[in-house]
Amino acid sequence: MQQSLGQHMQLLPRMLQAIEVLQLSREELEAWVVQAVGENEALSLDLAGERGLSSDFQGGSTLGPRGTRQDSERHAAFLESQPDRGQTLAERIEEHLAVLDLGPDEMRWLRLLLEALDPNGWLAQSDEQLLAEALALGLDGGAAQLGAARERLRNLDPRGLGARGPLEAMLFQLEDDDPDRDGISALLFTHLDDLARNKLPQVARAMGIEIPELERLVSRLGTLNPRPAAELSGELSPAIVPDIEVERRGQAFEVTLNGNSTPVVTIDPSIEAMSKDRASPTPVRRYLRDKLERARSVLEALEMRRATLGRIGAKLFEHQSAFLEQGPGHLVPLRMTDLAQELGIHVSTVSRAVAGKHAQTPWGILPLRHFFQAASGGEERAREDVRELVRGEFAAENSATPLSDDDVVARMRERGFDLARRTVAKYRQELDIPSSYRRRRYA
């Protein structure tokens, strides 16, 4: 047996809960709040209260009330911030079926095809499989009726439904008498590989047309959708709601926490009063006191989240004031470690606080992590700014003789940025810029 003396840090349940709440994104926080309120009758949603952080970059920052609003106005703002559910593929097509003058058998054939569509709007089953299903359902007409139903389907909106794949879906979006139909069909089914390799002269010679005409057909091809139903059948992306708002106020910028889309949680006063009422049975009061204790821990975790995110937001944009004034290209290199030392908190706290959070700035909504940039390029410039300079070099090139990665390395070195070729290649790939031989134009 041994006896020793030492100091240890113990993470109590309240600390663990506060850490969990701090790293939640806006959408995750809303779900967490709803669950917490549903599990604890001592909590209630307050649609009138709101707190935020403000900073003028000169007199420091304080956490305090930003005023109150009418319940109806705040509730409306909360509802307006929710993304529209949109229409599914089946709902969209049912609207078209309602106005078609079709008989019962024709409608049943068309619905058979609709049920066979995959999320892209393609028919994965062969005609033989569809005919077998039709026979099992007692549909008459055979191959002739199937062909008629496919023709009706391809003329519904969105155009291109019922194709056997992406190439046929694109061709279905052209009218039969379209003057470009034959040319686009040749590009899709004969010259697609050469087109992907930017071998325009070879394709033009094979089709017997000039390069400007070929480029016009390629441009028209780019307007066709290979997956006509993907946008309707896929899940909607959630709307980005900024956690921090930065607005100009006179000669300075004000940083505030955005609370308009998140309900504020409060303790139900009737439950608190009942827990203190000696007329209530002792087991009831003991039960309610436990609920109140848990409710207070929820409020502490939410308040810690607001305070921490507010302090980090104020100090972060104090460093990035040049970006607020002049926009992209003026980010200051900043590490989370440096910001944590200035605020007197651990770097993991900063990392958790900014994860999944966004800021509304005069230059758009951006992730908070965007404002933490390492220095790059041989001088004190943020990595994002150097990448934008690389983008500018490629954007200003002569399309007849596009720049190679080595050419951009040389040009950046002339501007005082010592970049390796692999760094330029990585930036080009991140910017979705093709290689030089694919960017070449032959006009």
| Model confidence at 10: pLDDT above 60 | no
Look at 77-81, 153-157, 285-289 and tell me which has the smallest mean pLDDT: 77-81
Task: Tell me the per-residue pLDDT of 47-76, one tens digit each, with 9 for 90 and over.
Answer: 544 444 444 433 333 333 333 344 445 445
> Residue 232's pLDDT is what?
64
Task: Tell me the per-residue pLDDT of 223-245, one tens digit each, with 9 for 90 and over.
Answer: 999 988 876 654 555 677 888 89
In a domain, 6, yes or no: no
In 338-361, which positions are buried (b, 16+ CB within 10 angstroms) versus exposed (e)?
ebbeebeeeeebbebbbebbbbbb
Residues 287 and 215 in one domain: no
In a domain, 175, yes or no: yes
User: Which residues form the domain of 40?
Assistant: 13-80+240-367
> Residue 183's pLDDT is what?
92
Mean pLDDT of the region 220-225: 90
Residues 323 and 401 in one domain: no
Task: Tell me the per-residue pLDDT of 181-216, one tens digit each, with 9 for 90 and over.
Answer: 999 999 999 998 888 888 888 999 999 999 889 989
Picking from 233, 254, 278, the residue at the C-terminal end of a domain is 233
In a domain, 282, yes or no: yes
Task: Tell me the per-residue pLDDT of 322-334, one tens digit each, with 9 for 90 and over.
Answer: 888 888 777 888 8
Look at 251-265, 273-287, 368-382 and tell me which has the smallest mean pLDDT: 368-382
Residues 122 and 173 in one domain: yes
Residues 178 and 296 in one domain: no
In a domain, 283, yes or no: yes
Q: Is the pTM of this model over 0.95?
A: no
The gap from C-alpha 254 to its chain's centroid, in whole angstroms, comes to 26
Residues 69 and 19 in one domain: yes
Q: Which amino acid is at 78?
A: F
Residues 211 and 269 in one domain: no
Residues 55 and 103 in one domain: no
Task: Tell me the per-residue pLDDT of 378-430, one tens digit each, with 9 for 90 and over.
Answer: 445 566 677 778 888 888 888 888 888 888 888 888 887 788 888 888 888 88
In the chain, the number of structural domains is 3
CB neighbour class for 394 (10 Å; exposed up to 12, middle 13-18, buried from 19):
buried
How many helices (DSSP H) and strands (DSSP E) are in the chain?
22, 10
> Residue 65's pLDDT is what?
33
In a domain, 4, yes or no: no
Residues 220 and 356 in one domain: no
Task: Tell me the per-residue pLDDT of 11-32, one tens digit each, with 9 for 90 and over.
Answer: 567 778 888 888 888 888 888 8
In a domain, 204, yes or no: yes
Residues 110 and 205 in one domain: yes
Q: How far is CA 168 from CA 32, 182, 188, in A?
A: 46, 13, 9
Residues 347 and 246 in one domain: yes
> Rounded to whole angstroms, how far apart are CA atoms 429 and 436?
12
Who contacts 228 (Cβ-Cβ below 8 Å, separation ≥6)? 120, 121, 158, 159, 160, 161, 163, 169, 173
In a domain, 8, yes or no: no
Residues 310 and 196 in one domain: no
Picking from 367, 399, 419, the residue at the C-terminal end of a domain is 367
Residues 66 and 121 in one domain: no
Q: What is the CATH number of the domain that holds 397?
A: 1.10.10.60
Q: How far is CA 270 from CA 40, 290, 309, 328, in A?
A: 14, 15, 31, 52
Look at 10-19, 250-259, 268-277, 329-338 and tell me which has the smallest mean pLDDT: 10-19
In a domain, 3, yes or no: no
Give the end-to-end CA distance of the chain in Å, rounded to a whole number.
87
Name the residue with higher pLDDT: 99 or 161.
161
Picking from 233, 265, 295, the residue at the C-terminal end of a domain is 233
Task: Tell me the per-residue pLDDT of 77-135, one tens digit each, with 9 for 90 and over.
Answer: 544 544 555 555 666 676 666 666 777 888 888 888 888 888 888 888 888 888 888 88
> Residue 285's pLDDT is what?
86
Who contacts 18 (Cβ-Cβ below 8 Å, separation ≥6)? 300, 301, 304, 305
